Amino acid sequence: MKRYFIFVLLLLVCLASAQGLELFQSYSSGYYGDVAGALGFGIRDLTQSFPIGMRLLASVAYQFDSGDATTARKIFINDNEGGTVEKWGTNHLLALDLTYRVAGSKDLLLYGFAGPRVSFYSAHFSFIGNNEVFAVRSNAFGAGGGLQVMLRTGSRLMAMLSGGADYYFPARLYAHGTFYYTPDGVDQVPRNAYTYADADAAVNQPRLVPVVTLGFEYQLK
């Protein structure tokens, strides 16, 4: 997946250089299920007659509540109990969007955006004093979209406010490489009589995620 990110980034740079297009870099942070930050590269307005562009985003989100730790332990690890629970989650995201200039002028613009996403999620659970630490993981494909308002604050700098939502399709959940739970129930290695529905309910993996971010965009060329 890192190779995919680098390939698309190089493609955007080469395309912008060859066609003399506007290449930009963006930084943003805000709400993505919980707190998140993102780095982006893209091209504005591939043609003058049809103001469509592309952007590539890489972001990471921190999740304060990763799910039901006690239930997750029974589903993925063992039936032991006890210990002080600590839990959190992380979600690394890659997104490739098409952007479209809906309205605006040189200094105030409104863009729409939509495209595919890939999520690399980890739910972390610790039972302090009971010697148990584990992570439940999933890699999911999805799609998202929204609107972005941009305000020029300098010759190459623009402030931006984005709002939208991402949806991720159900993905396999696993921990310790031992117990696997898949959405279609095929080739599962479940623990006891637990099902994918049980595992999905115990872990707060991304599904429908509202997104609100604030940041700025810098024109590279």
Give the pLDDT score at 33. Answer: 84
Residue 157 contacts residue 169 (beta carbons within 8 Å) = no
At residue 49, the 3 state secondary structure works out as coil
From 59, 121, 54, select the one nearest 93 (Cα to Cα): 59
Backbone angles phi, psi at 159, to 5 degrees: -85, 150
C-alpha of 142 from chain center: 9
In the chain, the N- to C-terminal Cα span, in Å, equals 27
Q: Whole-model pTM?
A: 0.85
Would you identify the CATH topology of the domain 2-219? Porin (2.40.160)
pLDDT in tens, 50-96: 788 889 899 999 999 999 999 999 999 988 888 999 999 999 999 99
The Cα 43–Cα 210 span in angstroms is: 25
- Which pair of tokens denotes residue 180? 């696997």
Residue 32 contacts residue 62 (beta carbons within 8 Å) = no
H or E element, residue 185: none
Greatest extent of the chain over all pairs of C-alpha atoms, in Å: 65
Q: Which amino acid is at 14?
A: C
C-alpha of 11 from chain center: 21
How does pLDDT run along the chain (221 residues), one tens digit per residue? 545 555 555 555 555 454 556 788 899 999 998 999 999 988 887 766 778 888 989 999 999 999 999 999 999 998 888 899 999 999 999 999 999 999 888 889 999 999 999 999 999 999 998 889 999 999 999 999 999 999 999 888 999 999 999 999 999 999 887 788 999 877 567 788 888 999 999 999 999 999 999 999 988 76
Domain boundary assignment for the chain: 2-219
- Which pair of tokens denotes residue 48? 């003058």
